[in-house]
């Protein structure tokens, strides 16, 4: 069985208020379980803390994490959770982080710059777990029995999207995506990642009115997410990277808007990702 659980669905920064309870306030983190393979964790936003919180709430023991991380880019909201995930900071933890090639230095060096005083009191090397970094860009990987396609995605700074394939099922993760000004053209690389997937997890931070004021801030509208899904032939779409200023009611309205668009008729189902939500598919 292929299982997807959303642990963090917000973009830009975490939020905590009464108006953001149903969808949640943690930033980008999605867990993918493919049969008996080690967990795949998509991004290390503050939602990664919930991996441990969920185990505690269910009474399961927390052991050292053994997982592979697919990191879309290095903006704060996608990396801030790393030192706060308890299972990573345990003796015996083994975590391989696959992230985008940087313009200056390696991925490991970038994390060393982020996790050091005065910005943070603990260095990466001081974590009890073994965290290994791998620079990737435009390539195909085999992560155990899971196939991962890595392609560049338009955004601010080096950013990649992922296509995950296992036992005839497929997921695309395009967490941050700079929509074009015309809200119509799509890069060939993005279409290659999203082509015919069972689930597309896509940046849907803005309404059209918000995009008009923030068209160069690196994100997509809800309508553009639907457009990408339709053009790529995705069977399902999860609206993701909700704006921290959007209340649950705002996200509900954007979801209704997305489902009412003419292009949505070519997509089997559309939902707005929420913390703790799990989707499952049997192998084909």
Neighbours of 104 (CB within 10 A): 7
pLDDT at 68 > cutoff 70: yes
Residues 6+ apart with CB under 8 A from 224: 177, 179, 183, 204
DSSP annotation of 18 reads G
> How many C-beta atoms surround the C-beta of residue 1 within 10 A?
12
From CA 31, how far away is CA 68, in angstroms rounded?
Answer: 10
Q: How many domains does the chain have?
A: 1
Domain range holding 50? 2-281
Cα–Cα distance, 142 to 126 (Å, whole number): 29
Asked if residues 62 and 52 have their Cβ atoms less than 8 Å apart, the reply is yes
Mean pLDDT (the chain) is 94
Q: Over the Cα atoms of the chain, what is R_g?
A: 18
88-91 long-range Cβ contacts below 8 angstroms, 24+ apart: 88/127, 88/129, 88/131, 89/127, 89/128, 89/129, 90/62, 90/63, 90/64, 90/65, 90/128, 90/129, 91/64, 91/128, 91/129
**Cβ distance 52 to 39 under 8 Å?**
no
Predicted local confidence at residue 93, as pLDDT? 87
Max Cα-Cα span within the chain: 52
H or E element at residue 239? strand 236-240
Mean pLDDT of the region 85-114 = 92
Q: Is the pLDDT of residue 129 over 90?
A: no
Instruction: Please say if the pLDDT value at position 209 is more than 70.
Output: yes
Half-sphere exposure of 2 (CA within 13 A, CB side): 17
Cβ count within 10 A of residue 141: 15
Q: What is the tens place of the pLDDT at every residue in 8-48?
A: 999 999 998 899 999 999 999 999 999 999 999 999 999 99
Query: What CATH code is carried by the domain that includes residue 95?
Result: 3.60.15.10
Mean pLDDT of 126-149: 95
The percentage of residues in the chain with a pLDDT greater than 70, rounded to a whole number, is 96
Alpha-carbon span 108 to 11, nearest angstrom: 23
Confidence of residue 54 (pLDDT cuts 50, 70, 90): low
Query: Strand 39-42 to strand 66-70: parallel, antiparallel, or no bridges (unpaired)?
Result: parallel
- What is residue 50's predicted lDDT score, i.e. its pLDDT? 84
Burial of 260 (0-12, 13-18, 19+ CB in 10 A): exposed
């Amino acid at each position: 069985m292929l299982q997807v659980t959303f642990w963090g669905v917000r973009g830009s920064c975490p939020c905590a208020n009464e108006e953001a309870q149903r969808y949640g306030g943690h930033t980008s983190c999605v867990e993918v379980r493919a049969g008996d393979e080690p967990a795949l964790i998509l991004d290390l936003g503050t939602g990664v803390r919930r991996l441990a919180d969920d185990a505690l709430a269910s009474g399961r023991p927390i052991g050292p994490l053994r997982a592979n991380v697919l990191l879309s880019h290095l903006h704060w909201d996608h990396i801030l959770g790393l030192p706060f995930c308890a299972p990573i900071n345990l003796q015996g933890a083994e975590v391989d982080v696959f992230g985008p090639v940087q313009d200056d230095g390696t991925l490991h060096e970038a994390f060393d710059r982020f996790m050091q005083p005065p910005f943070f009191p603990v260095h990466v090397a001081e974590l009890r777990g073994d965290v290994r970094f791998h620079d990737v860009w435009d390539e195909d990987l085999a992560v155990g029995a899971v196939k991962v396609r890595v392609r560049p995605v338009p955004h601010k700074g080096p950013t990649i999207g992922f296509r995950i394939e296992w036992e005839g099922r497929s997921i695309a993760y395009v967490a941050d995506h700079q929509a074009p000004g015309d809200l119509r053209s799509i890069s060939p690389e993005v279409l290659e990642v999203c082509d015919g997937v069972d689930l597309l997890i896509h940046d849907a931070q803005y309404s059209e009115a918000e995009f008009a004021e923030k068209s160069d801030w690196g994100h997509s509208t809800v309508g553009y997410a639907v457009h990408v899904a339709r053009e790529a032939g995705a069977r399902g779409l999860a609206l993701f990277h909700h704006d921290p200023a959007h209340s649950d009611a705002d996200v509900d309205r954007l979801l209704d808007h997305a489902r009412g668009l003419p292009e949505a008729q070519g997509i089997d189902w559309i939902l707005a990702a929420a913390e703790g939500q799990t989707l499952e598919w049997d192998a084909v």
